[in-house]
Amino acid sequence: MAECDAGRRCRQCGERILWRSARFVGSRAFCWEPCAIVWLFGTASRTAWSRIRWEMDRRPRNLRWRLQLLWLSWLAAAAQRRLDRRLSATSHAKDLPWFWVPSLRGATALVLALAACGISGARAPEPGALASARGGPTLSSQAPAGPSPAASPHIPPAIPPAAMPIAPVAPPGTHAPPPPAPVERPAHARPHPTPRGASDDIQRGDVSTRQIALTFDGGSEANVVGEILDSLRAANVRATMFLTGQFMRLHPDWVRRMVADGHEVANHTDTHPHLTTYAGNHRQRTLPIVTREFLNGQLRQAAESFRTITGKAMAPFWRAPYGEHNREIRAWAAEAGYRHVSWTQGVGTAEDLDTRDWVADRSSHIYRSREEIATRILEFGNGSPEGLSGGIVLMHLNSNRQTDR
């Protein structure tokens, strides 16, 4: 059998497929697993965005609008379910069936929902009212409540300097100044030459003052966002949220609350794709499918989603998914107006400010309990002149831990 079939090309990158490394999503063929995952991310993102746009449409909430919303919601849920199955599957993912067929119970529920839409002549509730009725987040223009001593974080007090690129932790009882609004470049403007240092990886802030920066990555899930935002509000702390476009389209109410609470929102790409070969060979070499246009499209789509939801521009910083980046990739992002922010590395590979809060397996050698996470942060840099000052801490807005989070 020939290894390459001239009649089949990868659905994502267009390359001819070597069947020994082929991956399938339904009847769609891909040259390797990253292409399949990127395509699934794109599909989930597009369907979720279509649903959000339809919900925000101001046209009359008649029967046609309701049926279309049900259809778009079903498409978005099916695409997200397919993506979740792919990401959680084993190395035999290519053997799993990716056609989603509703169960008898699901089909019955869908028919009843359609019948209810046809019988009821009442006006459909607005998306915001629906969120409130279900106990979703509600926004308030009031300032965050002052912290209690027990809720204050046990970290050195911080005074935000002007040179700090991302939002630092403010001392309890005071309000941190809002981050400066980024200067937007007109859409028709040509990219300027990359300034010297713009492609550098920011791993630490100003070490001359006692401050740290709390940063949170949001990929798609948001099962602990409420707890995190409540804790930050109670302690009167501002943080930097690196969000994907997919996260923002799935959780627009959380994004609006982040902005209302004064947190800085930066770019985490649109669909959280792999950018380098690190997952396969621990080398930060740019993947063949990743080009300047691909990366700029990822950053631009995420920024457009943020503007659509909040009416504001994102902060001019970004963080690469999975920590996969190199000088070439950072330079491409710098041309689009974004500087890369990583997290602080210490002396040796075992000392850094990556909390590993995403590790849920207690038997893993990199698992850290919440007590260990707090201790490692407070003891970071002991014996060095800088200590913890200027440290950038990495955390996440979702957790697979059932306890100890």
Place of tokens 């980046």: 325
State residue 386's pLDDT score: 85
pLDDT surpasses 50 at 15: yes
Judged against a pLDDT cut of 80, whether residue 293 lies above it is answered with: yes
Q: Which two tokens stand for residue 260?
A: 């209302």
Q: What is the pLDDT of residue 50?
A: 78
Could you tell me the domains of the chain?
A: 4-124 (no CATH), 150-178+193-396 (3.20.20.370)
What residues does 395 pair with on adjacent strands?
Answer: 216
Amino acid at 75: L
Q: HSE, CB side, 13 Å, CA atoms: give it for residue 395.
A: 22
Bridge partner residues of 393 (DSSP): 214
pLDDT band at 102 (very low <50, low <70, confident <90, very high): very low
Q: Note the pLDDT of residue 235.
A: 94
Tell whether the model's pLDDT for residue 88 goes beyond 70: no
Pick from 63-67, 118-122, 228-232, 368-372: least confident:
118-122
Give pairs for 279-282: CB < 8 Å, separation 24+.
Answer: 279/322, 279/324
Return the structure tokens found at 270: 């649109």
- The confidence band for 137, taking pLDDT boundaries of 50, 70 and 90, is very low
CA 15 – CA 35 distance, rounded (Å): 10
Distance (Å, whole) CA 297 – CA 267: 12
Does residue 238 have a pLDDT over 70?
yes
Q: Show the tokens assigned to 280.
A: 């396969």
What average pLDDT does the segment 279-286 reach?
91
Question: Considering Cα of 352, then 353, then 359, then 361, what sign does the dihedral take?
Answer: positive
Model pTM? Answer: 0.55
Which of the pair, 351 or 241, is modelled with greater confidence? 241
Query: What's the mean per-residue pLDDT of the chain?
Result: 75
pLDDT digits (tens, 9 = 90+) for 139-191: 333 333 343 333 333 333 333 433 344 444 444 444 445 554 544 444 433 34
The residue with tokens 């609006």 is: 256
Range of weakest confidence among 102-106, 223-227, 315-319: 102-106
**pLDDT, tens digit, 9 for 90 and up, residues 316-329:** 999 999 999 999 99
